[in-house]
């Protein structure tokens, strides 16, 4: 709870900030964002079989006018929900797990940055999910795209709704002051109408939350795999300095193309073909520095 003095200051400045900024500011002032003097650490979230409840406070199609895409960003007010970046949720609609089957959708928020809320990215419009209505859901712990150590560099490659866990990771690393660098490759169809989470990403690029960002839009005749090959030299440098590599594409064939690009980079730069190089996917996987999947898995 805010003290009288802090409450007065909060009320005086709230008109100048967005809703998301106010949520962060309130957590900072109350001390709930950063308890005591330590940075927040990941909480141990057990497998949750208990159905949780919340209220949908925002539902936005991330595609702009002119796009046929349906990728919805949904914000749920759920103060009792405990989760980590990289987790998934499924919805209970009409007493059955998800109206479209037992599907899990990636969390795209961070408890440290979005206090009392959980955000989810869905590559469809589920009509039963309506603003200002209660919703029931389950949280599924998934450590695949868990945040690396705070001083570890991270290369993220995502396309379409596959960017969701990376928004979660970037939110987490930004809110906790992680010193590791962040490099994002993002691919979609059209820059104007399909640049998902563009505002968030550009803000992080301006404030330092994103060290580098490269995009690939198919309308501009540029695929993610091509963009990766263009930046092969810098990618090798990051990987040689311990960066982790996370890949989450919208489609399986795109995942294979991206993996193929990294194998090409390794093959072209391996000075000892008889021995795996330090940047090969196999070596990165052995060291726990590599995760990859496509959104439909």
* Residues 132 and 219 grouped into a single domain: no
| Domain assignment of residue 168, yes or no | yes
| Domain assignment of residue 10, yes or no | no
CB 61 within 8 A of CB 72: yes
* Residues 218 and 87 grouped into a single domain: no
* 82 contacts: CB under 8 Å, gap ≥ 6: 43, 45, 111, 139
| Domain assignment of residue 27, yes or no | no
Report the candidate in 157, 286, 141, 163 with the shortest Cα–Cα distance to residue 229. Answer: 157
Q: What is the pLDDT of residues 156-168, one digit of tens each?
A: 999 999 999 999 9
Across 48-52, 77-81, 205-209, 228-232, least confident range? 48-52
Q: What is the pLDDT of residues 42-56, one digit of tens each?
A: 334 444 568 899 999
Q: What is the pLDDT of residues 114-125, one digit of tens each?
A: 999 999 999 999
Residue-range definition of the domain harbouring residue 288: 154-294
* Residues 69 and 181 grouped into a single domain: no
| Domain assignment of residue 243, yes or no | yes
Indicate the pLDDT class of residue 16, thresholds 50, 70 and 90: very low
Question: What distances in angstroms separate CA 10 from CA 24, 33, 97, 149, 175, one per listed residue?
Answer: 12, 15, 40, 33, 19
Across 48-52, 107-111, 179-183, 188-192, least confident range? 48-52
* Residues 179 and 273 grouped into a single domain: yes
pLDDT value at residue 96 = 53
Calculate mean pLDDT across residues 22-29.
45
- Report helix angle 198-207 to 164-175, nearest 10: 30
CB 85 within 8 A of CB 119: no
Number of domains in the chain: 2
């Amino acid at each position: 709870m805010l003290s009288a003095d802090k409450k007065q200051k909060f009320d005086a400045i709230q008109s100048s900030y967005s809703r998301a900024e106010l949520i962060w500011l309130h957590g900072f002032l109350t001390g709930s964002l950063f308890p005591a003097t330590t940075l927040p650490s990941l909480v141990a979230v057990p497998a949750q079989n208990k159905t949780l409840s919340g209220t949908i406070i925002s539902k936005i199609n991330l595609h702009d006018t002119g796009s046929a895409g349906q990728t919805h960003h949904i914000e749920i007010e759920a103060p009792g929900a405990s989760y980590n970046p990289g987790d998934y949720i499924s919805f209970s609609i009409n007493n059955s797990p998800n109206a479209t089957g037992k599907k899990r959708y990636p969390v795209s928020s961070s408890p440290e940055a979005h206090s009392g809320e959980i955000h989810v990215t869905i590559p469809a419009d589920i009509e039963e999910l309506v603003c200002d209505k209660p919703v029931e859901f389950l949280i599924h712990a998934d450590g695949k795209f868990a945040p690396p150590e705070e001083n570890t560099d991270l290369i993220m490659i995502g396309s379409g709704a596959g960017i969701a866990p990376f928004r979660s990771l970037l939110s987490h690393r930004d809110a906790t002051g992680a010193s590791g660098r962040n490099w994002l490759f993002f691919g979609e169809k059209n820059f104007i109408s399909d640049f998902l989470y563009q505002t968030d990403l550009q803000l992080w690029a301006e404030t330092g939350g994103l060290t580098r960002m490269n995009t690939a839009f198919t309308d501009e005749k540029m695929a993610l795999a091509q963009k990766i090959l263009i930046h092969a030299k810098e990618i090798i440098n990051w990987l040689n300095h311990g960066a982790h590599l996370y890949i989450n594409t919208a489609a399986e064939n795109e995942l294979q193309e991206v993996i193929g690009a990294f194998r090409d980079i390794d093959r072209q730069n391996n000075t000892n073909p008889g021995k795996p190089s330090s940047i090969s996917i196999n070596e990165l996987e052995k060291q726990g520095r590599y995760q990859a999947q496509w959104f439909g898995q």
